[in-house]
Amino acid sequence: MKNTVLFLFFFMITFLSYSQEIGRFSVQLEDDGIDVPVSISLDEFNINPDKGSLALYEITGNREKEIDCQVESGYFPNLWFVLNGHSDKKSLREFVLKVEKKDAVPSQNSIITLKKQHKDLIVQFGEQPILKYRFQTTYPPEGVDPLYKRSGFIHPLYSPQGEILSRIQPTDHYHHYGIWGPWTLTHIDGREVDFWNLNKGQGTVRFADFLSEMSGKVFSGFKVLQQHIDFGNKGEDRIALNEILDVLVWNINPKVWVIDYTSSFNTPLPNGILFDAYRYGGGIGFRATEKWTKDNCTVLTSEGKTRLDADGSRARWCIVEGESDTEEGRSGILFLSHPSNRAHPEPMRVWPLDANGGRGDMFVEFVPIRYEAWKINPFRDYTLRYRMIVFDGKMNIQTAEKYWNSFSKPPKIKKIL
């Protein structure tokens, strides 16, 4: 009997040491949101990682419900989680953070994973692909000018039900590569360099290296170094821009993909580089599937513009939808531009209904230099942030606005003493 009591005593002590509360905090939204990613600085808490893993619980009444969380390490470590579903304006939600000793490993079918295959890095949910990033050089079809080759772009982008939404190397524009964003009309020391229209032979964009790859319960993604190469320099080709492309896919809802696309860049050129004002260039560009034409796809912006009048207008967000072979018969992407971006709300390039000889193929882009040139000074970092909500079916204005709020208005975090 004595031994049994001692065993239970030590068992309770051990159990308690394996589950230790380290802090509480509340989250309040500024406006209505949906599937809101949230981060809290771990500098707020004194955490010894040797004691166990972090576990997060939401407090509802007298109950605690564990929710997925993920640590972003580094000089400023953060804990990330998601407020799943719809959250009302000014709603207050409370959480408790604990350190627990457990070895629970999430199923590979319930998280977003990365896999390298031949020429691509594949981001997938279980066995279902979300997108592919092409890191090997892709050449144009035989008989087409090899100057059209390039690497460092996203294609295919899939809808949640598997519809391919992007397109590369269409015969009308061999330099179009799915989702990408090279700069078009630029000047280096007074000389024009075009990184977009590859057949000019003035420049290109190349994948250089993988900087990081991550997979977790809350988000998965990768960072790559892409280089804008100037062909016209005296002597050897040179790097005009170093770009870090950061692609993050949130593990929120298998019926909707939430993808962050962040481009950070700088120039090593001693006199910098000028991005001239032009209707194309930078930002995030999207060449849609060949299925989408003027007869079966639509555009709607945050300012109420459609394909008839969206070109040249400014927008916080833009919905691009079209016919698909899905259950709903329709798929689309909501493109969000972050308010910290240059020239926000950003000017847009949207192909008119008579594009490509009257077919009305779909191309859409946020263009931060459409109306004003941008001088990129040496050894200074610049960043453009975008989010894509990929869906099947239709999306209304109210849902788009909630996604916009979730991206643009970070919730208020308050530590509870």
* Residue 6: predicted pLDDT: 46
Question: Cα angle at 223 between 390 and 289, to 5 degrees?
Answer: 35
Nearest to 383 by CA among 415, 344, 353: 344
Q: Give the amino acid at 360.
A: G
* Residue 16: predicted pLDDT: 46
Residue 129 CA to chain centroid, in angstroms?
16
Higher local confidence (pLDDT), 416 or 346: 346
Region 326-332 average pLDDT: 98
Region 367-392 average pLDDT: 98
pTM above 0.85, yes or no: yes
Count the neighbouring beta carbons within 10 Å of the beta carbon of residue 72.
15
Domains and CATH numbers, the chain: 2-104 (2.60.40), 112-408 (2.70.98)
* Residue 18: predicted pLDDT: 63
* Residue 345: predicted pLDDT: 98
- Flag whether pLDDT at 333 surpasses 90: yes
Instruction: Output the DSSP codes for 240-301.
Output: EEEEEEEEEEEEEETTEEEEEEEEEEEB--TT-EEE---SS-SSEEEEBPTT--TTTEEEEE
* Residue 51: predicted pLDDT: 67
In the structure encoding, which two tokens stand for residue 37, read together? 């990613």
E strands in 51-176? 53-60, 63-67, 70-72, 78-87, 92-100, 112-117, 120-125, 128-134, 153-157
Most confident of 45-54, 65-74, 302-311: 302-311
Residue range 162-206, pLDDT digits in tens: 999 999 999 999 999 999 999 999 999 999 999 999 999 999 999
Q: Which of 4-18, 97-111, 214-228 comes out lowest in average pLDDT? A: 4-18
Residues whose CB is less than 8 angstroms from the CB of residue 256 and which lie 6 or more positions away in sequence, other chains included: 35, 160, 389, 390, 391
- Which DSSP symbol is given to 166? B
C-alpha 48/C-alpha 277 separation (Å) is 51
Count the neighbouring beta carbons within 10 Å of the beta carbon of residue 143.
5
Residue 268 CA to chain centroid, in angstroms?
26
Instruction: Output the DSSP codes for 277-291.
Output: --SS-SSEEEEBPTT
User: Coil, helix or strand for 35?
Assistant: strand
pLDDT band at 103 (very low <50, low <70, confident <90, very high): low
Q: In whole angstroms, how far apart are CA 166 and each of 169, 186, 335?
A: 11, 26, 14
Region 254-262 average pLDDT: 96
Residue range 7-57, pLDDT digits in tens: 444 444 444 446 789 899 999 999 999 999 999 999 878 776 566 789 999
Q: Give the amino acid at 17.
A: S
Count the neighbouring beta carbons within 10 Å of the beta carbon of residue 20.
15
C-alpha 247/C-alpha 65 separation (Å) is 30
C-alpha 58/C-alpha 95 separation (Å) is 4
Find out whether 263 and 153 touch, Cβ atoms under 8 Å.
no
Give bridge partners of residue 59 from the DSSP assignment: 64, 94
Q: Which of 75-84, 200-209, 243-252, 301-310 comes out lowest in average pLDDT? A: 75-84
* Residue 356: predicted pLDDT: 86
Give bridge partners of residue 414 from the DSSP assignment: 26
**Mean model confidence pLDDT for the chain:** 92
